[in-house]
Amino acid sequence: YSGNEDDVILLGDLNVSYKKLGALGQIPGITYTVADEPTNTLRKSSYDNLVFLANDTQEFTGRAAVYDTQKEFGLTLDQAMDVSDHLPVWGEFSAYEAGPSAIASGAGAPVR
C-alpha cells in the first residue's frame, strides 16, 4: 500500500434523499449510487445511499440497487418491518485502482 488512496465512500442512513444532501450535495463531483428509488420498507422515502466523489472513485461500475428483502424472502409487510424499516442499498466497485491518480492502474493492477 502506497498511502495515496483517494477513494472515500460514505454509506448509510443519511435520513434524506439524494436530492436533499445539503452541504454534502454541494461538493463538486459528489455523486450517489441510488436515485429515484425509495429505500424504506414502506417504499415512500429515500434515506439510505452510498455517496462518493465521481472523479476520485472511478472504480464504481455503475451497478447499484435497493435490495427488496420483502420480495426476495417472501415476507409480509409486517414481517419486513420487524426486520427493519430500511431496505439494504448496494453498489458495486471494482477491486482494481482506476482514475486520475492511477495509483495502480493498468494491466496487472493488484487487487486490494
Residue 100 lies in a domain: no
* Length of the chain as a residue count: 112
What pLDDT does residue 25 have?
A: 86
Residue 98 lies in a domain: no
Residue 25 lies in a domain: yes
Domain tally, the chain: 1
Residue 50 lies in domain: 9-93
The span from the CA of 24 to the CA of 52, in Å, is: 10
- Per-residue pLDDT, averaged over 3-32, amounts to 85
Res. 20: pLDDT tops 90: no
State the chain's maximal CA–CA distance in angstroms.
Answer: 50
Q: What is the pTM of this model?
A: 0.74
Q: pLDDT, tens digit, for every residue of 28-55?
A: 999 999 988 999 999 999 999 999 998 8
Find the radius of gyration of the CA atoms of the chain.
16
What pLDDT does residue 2 have?
A: 57
Q: Which has the higher per-residue pLDDT, 4 or 104?
A: 4
Mean per-residue pLDDT of the chain: 83
Residue 107 lies in a domain: no
Residue 62 lies in a domain: yes
Residue 87: all three cell numbers together: 431496505
Residue 102 lies in a domain: no
Q: 106 falls in which pLDDT band (50, 70, 90)?
A: very low
Helix (H, G, I), strand (E, B) or coil at 79: helix
Q: 77 falls in which pLDDT band (50, 70, 90)?
A: very high
What pLDDT does residue 3 have?
A: 60
